[in-house]
């Protein structure tokens, strides 16, 4: 299945980047405890639309779009304890816009696209990484091929939500590692891709996303509770966008960056449980989209991404401390 990006304007954005306005969050600012950003060793390979996950205290940055908007199979691992990067076995296929998560001590990568420039081929592939052997194996594929999806580990299983094939979907699939099988689950209320998701308070939080690059940008937060097998609506983000990242640290959800047509976000926002609201924190030093976020050792790391709407890959590796 081939996805063709329509329009010369969109093609130009993806291949050459587009200088757009950097937008801060309209959320109320936490002046007393804004947190702070620190710079760390840059990635060896500048990439955007990467899959990011933590395994054994280290941060894996997987695939993405590299030089000339071409997909890569590159896997690089960052050790926060030493501030150093190492290479690992590459993905079996060069892939971008995939999702990654860890369950049962194994790292999984699902979906995404192969192909670069203006023609992308959507994938159902699922890969499992064995850290002890530094090797990949193929597991049962997704029921629906899609890229720009989100995946989280919850209750010993993997939940995959949203993404796009020929258009944004609200599909929700659950993977059982023991049986190596996928099953359908109640779909998200809102179809969207380029969303982010976290496991928080025993539930899946699906945050933000969009219908397309130039389409509707959602502030939507929808929450799936496996105990009731049902979705509910959470407090929306202060502003809608796609290509954002999220992570849980302590008793809070943090959301970072993202893009909307001709705009890129520097936002750092925290969901305050007590006030049931999003509040603004210290903005990102390097505004980005196409990123992933991982919490390790009291910090949230955001490696890579793009510094302008469309294609503008970077090797930046920065961390936020609340």
The DSSP element (H or E) to which 12 belongs, if any, is helix 8-16
For residue 144, the SS3 value is coil
Task: Look at residue 260 in the predicted model and tell me its pLDDT.
Answer: 93
**Average of per-residue pLDDT across 221-227:** 98
Task: Look at residue 25 in the predicted model and tell me its pLDDT.
Answer: 77
Find out whether 89 and 135 touch, Cβ atoms under 8 Å: yes
CA-based end-to-end distance of the chain: 43
Task: Look at residue 1 in the predicted model and tell me its pLDDT.
Answer: 40
Q: Supply the DSSP symbol for 313.
A: B
State how far the Cα of 128 lies from the Cα of 91, in Å rounded to an integer.
Answer: 10
pLDDT digits (tens, 9 = 90+) for 198-213: 999 999 999 999 999 8
Of the listed ranges 20-24, 151-155, 261-265, 290-294, the one predicted with least confidence: 20-24
By DSSP bridging, strand 21-23 and strand 263-265 are: parallel
**Average of per-residue pLDDT across 164-169:** 93
How is residue 131 written in tokens? 């850290």
Task: Look at residue 21 in the predicted model and tell me its pLDDT.
Answer: 66
CA distances from 121 to 16, 87, 112, 114, 125 (A): 21, 26, 8, 5, 12
**Average of per-residue pLDDT across 184-203:** 98
Task: Look at residue 8 in the predicted model and tell me its pLDDT.
Answer: 30
Q: What are the extents of the domains in the chain?
A: 2-31+42-308
Q: Is 276 exposed, middle or buried (0-12, 13-18, 19+ CB in 10 A)?
A: exposed
pLDDT digits (tens, 9 = 90+) for 272-288: 999 999 999 999 999 99
**Average of per-residue pLDDT across 215-224:** 97
CA distances from 271 to 120, 205, 250, 251 (A): 35, 11, 12, 9
State the greatest distance between any 2 C-alpha atoms of the chain, in Å, as a whole number. Answer: 51
Task: Look at residue 283 in the predicted model and tell me its pLDDT.
Answer: 95
Topology of the domain comprising 2-31+42-308? Neuraminidase (2.120.10)
Q: Supply the DSSP symbol for 257.
A: -
């Amino acid at each position: 299945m081939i996805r063709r990006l329509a329009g010369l304007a969109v093609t130009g954005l993806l291949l050459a980047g587009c200088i757009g306005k950097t937008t801060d969050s309209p959320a109320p600012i936490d002046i007393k405890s804004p947190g702070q950003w620190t710079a760390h060793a840059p990635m060896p390979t500048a990439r955007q639309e990467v899959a990011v996950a933590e395994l054994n205290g280290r941060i894996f940055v997987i695939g993405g779009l590299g030089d000339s908007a071409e997909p890569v199979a590159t896997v690089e691992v960052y050790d926060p304890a030493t501030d150093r990067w190492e290479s690992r076995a590459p993905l079996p296929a060069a892939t971008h816009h995939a999702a990654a998560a860890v369950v049962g001590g194994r790292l999984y990568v699902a979906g995404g696209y192969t192909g670069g420039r203006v023609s992308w081929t959507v994938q159902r592939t699922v890969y499992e990484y064995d850290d002890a052997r530094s090797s990949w194996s193929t597991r049962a594929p997704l029921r629906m091929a899609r890229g720009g999806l989100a995946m989280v580990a919850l209750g010993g299983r993997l939940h995959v939500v949203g993404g796009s094939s020929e258009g944004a979907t609200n599909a929700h699939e659950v993977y059982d590692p023991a049986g190596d099988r996928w099953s359908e689950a109640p779909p998200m209320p809102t179809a969207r891709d380029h969303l982010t998701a976290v496991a928080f308070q025993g539930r899946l939080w699906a945050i933000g996303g969009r219908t397309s690059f130039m389409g509707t940008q959602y502030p939507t937060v929808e929450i799936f509770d496996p105990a009731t097998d049902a979705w509910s609506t959470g407090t929306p983000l202060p502003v809608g966008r796609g290509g954002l990242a999220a992570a849980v640290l302590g008793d809070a959800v943090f959301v970072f960056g993202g893009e909307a047509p001709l705009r890129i976000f520097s936002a750092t926002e925290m969901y305050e449980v007590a006030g049931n609201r999003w509040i603004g924190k210290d903005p990102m030093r390097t505004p980005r989209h196409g990123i992933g976020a991982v919490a390790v050792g009291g910090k949230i790391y955001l490696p890579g991404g793009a510094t302008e709407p469309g294609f503008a890959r970077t090797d930046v590796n920065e961390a936020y401390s609340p």
